[in-house]
């Protein structure tokens, strides 16, 4: 990988498996949106950026310091996803899934934002999840000046802990408001320490997260994979259950995918969901 600093952005070349659409549209994050030219704009840890691809290069707005202190880790750029895909090609189905999802990378998201986002995601669709999160940030997040207009950071657990569920009525998240506030209070009070959980085992982290009101298996697994960056977590939703039942049957153990079960999960999820969408056309 080579990084070249330009006046307003950093150019990255020599990275395989870096497809912006697949990274941002595979269901792992909700704060990146593309314009008509395919340029994505998002906010991570109160820092906004534009990301675009031109030929074999990816350009991220900001300085080289911004890249080294945030974006390099956020995009998991030091991991060889091409090699991981080869390791995950255990059967014909995974060969198809990994080929279809080539370009996905697991983002290293903010731990609280990932947890809160997947609490919001329960029984919800992606456009509505994005709308709720956008409203939450506009209402309670830090206002950021950016070249493309104002943006908003994700509100901290401490900020939300001082609110009541009624304060979230404008974002129209329904029963999830109570879950958000109660989780924020427990995180802010230190009852669950996300930083410490990131150094624990996946099973221990999952068990601790499920002590939070409104956090079940799926939300906990998503928070473990996308927030704590434990790549052997294997979230199950309706798409995953359907794929596993069709291709592997009862008794399937995701441990077959080794330490990259979470990456395998993303390939399976992305392939299965998009295959179903194409079938409906």
3-state secondary structure of 36: coil
**52 and 157 part of one domain:** no
| CA gap 16, 75 in Å, rounded | 12
Could you count the other beta carbons within 10 Å of the beta carbon of residue 203? 11
DSSP class per residue in 170-226: GGT-TTHHHHHHHHHHHHHTTSS-HHHHTTS-HHHHHHHHTTSTT--HHHHHHIIII
pLDDT (0 to 100) of residue 278: 59
Of 206, 227, 248, which residue sits at a domain end? 227
Q: Is the pLDDT of residue 115 over 90?
A: yes
Q: Is the pLDDT of residue 67 over 60?
A: yes
**125 and 60 part of one domain:** no
pLDDT category, 277, cuts 50, 70, 90? Answer: low
Q: Is the pLDDT of residue 10 over 70?
A: yes
**Can you give the CATH number for the domain in which 120 is found?**
1.10.340.30
pLDDT (0 to 100) of residue 221: 96
pLDDT (0 to 100) of residue 149: 78
3-state secondary structure of 254: helix
pLDDT category, 275, cuts 50, 70, 90? Answer: confident
Residue 213 belongs to a domain: yes
pLDDT category, 276, cuts 50, 70, 90? Answer: low
pLDDT (0 to 100) of residue 281: 41
pLDDT digits (tens, 9 = 90+) for 169-188: 999 999 999 999 999 999 99
**139 and 74 part of one domain:** no
| CA gap 254, 63 in Å, rounded | 40
pLDDT digits (tens, 9 = 90+) for 211-221: 999 999 999 99
pLDDT (0 to 100) of residue 35: 94
The token duo for 88 is 């995950």
Structural domains counted in the chain: 2
Residue 87 belongs to a domain: no
* Domain carrying residue 215: 111-227
Give the helix/strand (H/E) hosting 131: helix 126-140
Of 185, 210, 227, which residue sits at a domain end? 227
Give mean pLDDT, residues 120-137. Answer: 95
Separation of CA 133 from chain center:
13
**35 and 116 part of one domain:** no
Q: Is the pLDDT of residue 280 over 80?
A: no
pLDDT category, 145, cuts 50, 70, 90? Answer: confident
The token duo for 272 is 């299965």
Residue 257 belongs to a domain: no
pTM recorded for the entire structure: 0.94
Q: Is the pLDDT of residue 198 over 60?
A: yes
Separation of CA 156 from chain center:
17
**116 and 206 part of one domain:** yes
Q: Percent of the chain scored above 90 by pLDDT?
A: 93
Q: Percent of the chain scored above 70 by pLDDT?
A: 98
Q: Is the pLDDT of residue 130 over 50?
A: yes
What share of residues in the chain are helix, strand, coil (percent, to 5)? 50, 10, 35
């Amino acid at each position: 990988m080579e990084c070249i600093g330009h006046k307003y952005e950093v150019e990255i070349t020599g990275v395989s498996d870096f497809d912006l659409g697949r990274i941002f549209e595979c269901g792992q994050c909700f704060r990146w949106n593309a314009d008509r030219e395919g340029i994505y704009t998002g906010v991570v840890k109160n820092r906004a950026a534009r990301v675009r691809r031109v030929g074999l290069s990816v350009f991220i707005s900001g300085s080289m310091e911004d890249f080294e202190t945030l974006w390099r880790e956020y995009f998991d750029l030091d991991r060889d996803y091409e090699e991981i895909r080869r390791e995950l090609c255990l059967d014909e189905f995974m060969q198809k899934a990994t080929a279809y999802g080539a370009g996905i990378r697991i983002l290293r998201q903010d731990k609280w934002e990932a947890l809160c986002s997947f609490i919001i995601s329960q029984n919800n669709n992606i456009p509505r999840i994005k709308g709720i999160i956008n409203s939450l940030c506009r209402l309670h997040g830090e206002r950021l000046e950016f070249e493309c207009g104002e943006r908003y950071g994700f509100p901290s657990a401490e900020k939300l802990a001082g609110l009541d569920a009624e304060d979230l009525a404008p974002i129209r998240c329904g029963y999830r408001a109570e879950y958000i506030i109660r989780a924020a209070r427990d995180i802010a009070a230190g009852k669950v320490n996300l930083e410490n959980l990131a150094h624990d085992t996946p099973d221990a982290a999952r068990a601790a997260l499920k002590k939070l009101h409104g956090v079940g298996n799926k939300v906990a697994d998503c928070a473990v994979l996308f927030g704590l960056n434990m790549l052997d977590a294997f979230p199950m939703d309706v798409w995953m259950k359907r794929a596993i039942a069709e291709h592997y049957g009862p008794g399937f153990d995701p441990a077959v995918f080794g330490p990259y079960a979470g990456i395998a999960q993303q390939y399976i999820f992305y392939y299965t969901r998009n295959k179903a969408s194409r079938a409906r056309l």
